Structure 1
Amino acid sequence: MASTPAALLRRPGEPLRASFLELFFDLAFVLAIGQVSEVLLADLSVAGAARAALLLLPLWWVWVVTAWFSDWFARASGWVQALLVGTTLGVVLMSVAVPEATGGRAVLFAGAYVAIQVGRGVVTALALRGHPLRRRTLRVLVWFGTTGILWLVGAAWPAVRVPAWLLALAVDYGGPRLGWPTPGLGRAAPGDMRLRGGHLMERYQQIVIIALGELLITTGLVYSDTDMAAAQSAAFLLFFAAAVLIGLLYVTPAGRYLGAALDERDPSRFGVAANDLHLVMIAGVVATSVAANLVIEHPTDRGSGMAVALTVAGPALFLTGRVALSAGIYRRLSWPRLLGLLGILGTAAGGGYALPLLGVSATTVAVLLVVAVLERRIARTESVPPTTRAGR
């Protein structure tokens, strides 16, 4: 274990590539994303979607703060490695609790969340005694300690559970935007929140791959339980194509320049915004995974309002997050993605409810394909990072 504060902090020149334990931590999110998808599949209603969102938000915030933590501190340190393993266990426990997180397993879900966020802060603050950067850790710890009370009160008192957790999430997500202002400790300066763009870009790519992996697993498992009739096989191929296209659209072309933008922009603004936009994209993949269950099992049915909405919402949410992220990187809108988003939304407004679910899926995948082709053509002219070009 590290014996001095300096041994705990990230060393100059430390590789940008994710460590083995960071990748191991990401594996816990295969379970987490799958469980959230099951919650939504079990309750295809607006209330069910809201509940799934309520559970996805704290899971995502654990991933974000852990990505920051592993960038700020030396991943070779025994303390850091132990905390990454403990965080992985916490995420698995949160995921186990997800199906009943707003009911009988609320204490497990909230308790694991608080243990991760507060426990990491306590250990890090103790290890950084005497070092100036301890103030940053203490600010974050005070904020998570405050919201931890709300999480535990909500878990123990069902009557206030949802309002307490919503308030806790608002404070958790608002902290870095405000610099975690704390009496006696002040507010974090932009330099205190500085992250290595190359490392964070890789971490984002990995969590997107994890989400797409869960989509592929769902698609394959659902298809394996069908009769593999022609319509079901077509639906399976459509969702496989959707996963491929979402992956291509994520990395082309602006995804290659996200790291440079993170290095050059204000981390309390662009960095935090990038976290939120990736959450929107992950939510889109979750919705697509749920839609895969519905469409592959019943491809020729004219779906209910929620079935059609989810089939359309998945790609639409992904493109919404990707349009906004591309706009942040290039300081302009990506018109192919914007037109694609409008085209997908038009699927619902222009007759999606009159089509069989297979037809709705085919339309959204066709739109994704058109957007991908247009983006590929534009990518040939986007060979220079946007932050190095005039007017960008």
Structure 2
Amino acid sequence: MTHGQPDSVDIGRADEAASGPQQPEASVYQEQKVSWLELFFDLIFVVAFDQLAKRLGQSPDTVSLLNFGLLFVAVWWAWAGNATFAARYGNESRTYRWGTLAQLVSLGMIALTLRGDLTDTGPAFALAYGANRVIQTALYVAVARRGQDVAAFAGRMALAFGAAAALWLVSAAFPGGSAAQIGLWCAALLLDVLAPVVTRNHSRHALPHEGHLPERVGLLQIIALGAIVTEIVGGSRQQELNANNLIPALAAIVTAVALWRLYFDQARSLPLLGARVDRQVEAMLAWLYGHLPFTLAVVVLGVGLGHGLSAAGTAESAADQRLVGASLALALLTLAFLRWNSLRVTGRFFADRSLPALLLGVGLAVGLLFIDLDTQGTHLAVAALTTLLALTSATDPVTRRLGRLEETVLQRLEAGDQPESVADALDQPPAARTDGTSP
């Protein structure tokens, strides 16, 4: 075992990153697995999500929701910066490893400041996050020095991240939670988030690895879904263990499992494959950015379900029901968007039944905002809805066809036969699967 990496794992693109710009036109495909260091990095977000969930659960009013959303976007983007860098330039280089270790320290400090009131922790959060952005900037500066082609994208990203880091550090001088400080945070995040979009035409030498990035993104969704179970257990501690409380808790766990199935039934690598073979960079960015509202919605859903259990039978249960309905609607809407995005990558029309089912589910989830149910009724309704949608997606022939298409393109890349487009691989049957299949 070397450098925090599992034994006998072929790390792809590390040599390419070290020797010069990647060539998307080449048909050579190499595997790139998630390293132990990346797994450790992602586990920090278990703490971050828990801190954010506790912050929201203490006072789920409008101001708290807005502050939660702002802090969540910042935390998610700190994760996305590391994940996309590793997927673009490899996860084995010494630069990446030392940079990630430094980011781990900054994220630990960020997590410490998430739960407190911004009037007290605002400056500390700004300094910790500014340090994280400085590290991210340094990583892109190091890459930009490798050559002119690489610098076209990495150099621009370094400029954007550096400017954002300066805004974060300057904001630490303002009173915590003040309008000036929050305004600087919003400007810095906007600069960060828009940088990959503005520079997308220069990213052909830095396309994320088609297997590595979906794996990292999937791991983060597992962490977010696990946060639902944490909130359920925490909420159940406030009540006696009887049927009236165990039934809604069981329904909430079923909801988490159904959402897991809904997400992982999708062809998650297809938009990245479209960027590689069809230059559909916009579809790839839409796929990545679409995970921000989904992850946020899952964490908020966990807060609503857990808080509903602890507040069962009280006046607060109505507010928890609205929180559950709104977050579930956002999660299902995002899943519908991700489904549509994968479908459009194929360039073909499919008689898909999962997409309209998800959109119908959004409408039913919104309906929870306008009907009066107790905690048990809310949890049972949500569990029934998500389970029906998961079964619809799992049995949809289009779901299986998209999965087979994704496998076909990946197999052709591994064989050194890159298709001219994703649609070009539609008519080629995939080889027999030798690895484990999805449940």
TM range (shorter): 0.7 to 0.9
Structure 2 counterpart of 1:346, from 357, 367, 381? 367
The question of whether the paired residues in 2 share the 8 Å contact of 1:253 and 1:376 is answered with no
| Correspondent of 1:289 among 277, 292, 302 | 302
- For 1:173, the aligned partner's letter is V
Q: Counterpart of 1:374 in structure 2: which amino acid?
A: T
Q: Secondary structure at the match of 1:105?
A: helix
Does 2:131 match 1:115?
Answer: yes
| Aligned mate of 2:89, from 73, 79, 82 | 73
TM-score by length of 2: 0.79
Q: How far is 1:16 from its partner? A: 2.5
AA at the equivalent of 1:279: L
The residue type paired with residue 249 of structure 2 is F
d(CA) in 1 for partners of 2:399, 2:306: 39
Deviation at 1:140, TM superposition (A): 1.4
Counterpart for residue 184 of structure 1: none
Structure 2: distance between partners of 1:101 and 1:109: 11
Partner of 1:385: 405
Write the distance in 1 (CA, Å) between the matches of 2:135 and 2:194: 20
CA distance in 1, matches of 2:139, 2:268: 35
One-letter amino acid of the structure 2 residue matched with residue 204 of structure 1 = V
Mean Cα displacement is larger for which, 208-217 or 292-301?
292-301
CA distance in 2, matches of 1:248, 1:125: 40
1:126-168: CA deviations, max 9, x gaps?
Answer: 4653523244332212111212222223232134011111121
Comparing 72-81 with 297-306, greater Cα deviation is found at 297-306
Number of the residue aligned with 2:236 = 223
Structure 1 unaligned spans of 5+? 181-187
Alignment check: 8 A CA contact 1:197 1:260 kept: yes
The alignment status of 1:137 with 2:154, answered yes or no, reads yes
CA change 1:264–1:61 in 2 (3 A) is farther
Amino acid in the other structure paired with 1:145: G
Q: Secondary structure in 2 aligned to 1:219? A: helix
How far residue 271 of structure 1 moved from its aligned partner, in angstroms, is 2.2
The equivalent of 1:183 in structure 2 is none
Task: Give the aligned partner of residue 414 of structure 2.
Answer: none
SS of equivalent to 1:348: coil
Q: Distance in 1 between matches of 2:101 and 2:210?
A: 24
Structure 1 Cα separation of the partners of residues 93 and 313 of structure 2: 55
- For 2:331 and 2:171, locate their aligned partners in 1 and report how far apart those are by CA, in whole Å: 31
**d(CA) in 2 for partners of 1:42, 1:142:** 38
Unpaired runs of 5+ in structure 2? 4-13, 407-421, 428-439
1:309 aligns to what SS in structure 2? Answer: helix
Amino acid corresponding to residue 362 of structure 1 in structure 2 = L
Identity of aligned residues (%): 22
User: For the Cα contact (< 8 Å) 1:35–1:95, is it kept in 2?
Assistant: yes
Structure 2: how far apart are the matches of 1:13 and 1:254?
A: 19
| 1:212-253 CA-partner distances (Å, limit 9, x unpaired) | 122212222332443212221112101111110010000124
Cα distance change, pair 128–165 in 1 and its aligned pair in 2 (3 A): closer
Look up the match of 1:42. Answer: 58
- Which residue of 2 is the match for residue 358 of structure 1? 376
State the alpha-carbon separation in 2 of the partners of residues 97 and 120 from structure 1: 20
Instruction: Say which is worse superposed, 220-229 or 122-131, in terms of deviation.
Output: 122-131
Aligned: 1:174 with 2:194? yes
Q: Distance in 2 between matches of 1:8 and 1:101?
A: 46
Q: Out of 137, 162, 170, which is 1:153 matched to?
A: 170
For 1:85 and 1:156, the matched residues in 2 are separated by: 27
Return the offset for 1:47: 1.0
How far off is 1:293 after superposition?
Answer: 2.3
Residue 32 of structure 1 deviates from its aligned partner by 0.9
Structure 2 Cα separation of the partners of residues 214 and 143 of structure 1: 32
Report the TM-score, using the length of structure 1 for normalisation. Answer: 0.88
Instruction: Give the C-alpha shift of residue 191 in structure 1.
Output: 0.3
One-letter identity of the residue aligned with 2:302: S
| Residue of structure 1 aligned with 2:101, choices 72, 79, 85 | 85
- For 1:256 and 1:78, locate their aligned partners in 2 and report how far apart those are by CA, in whole Å: 27
Closer, same or farther: CA 120–10 of 1 in aligned 2, 3 Å: farther
Aligned 8 A contact 1:319 1:338 in 2: yes
What do you get for the CA RMSD once the two structures are aligned? Answer: 2.8
Whichever structure has more helix as a proportion of its residues is 1
Name the counterpart of 1:233. 246
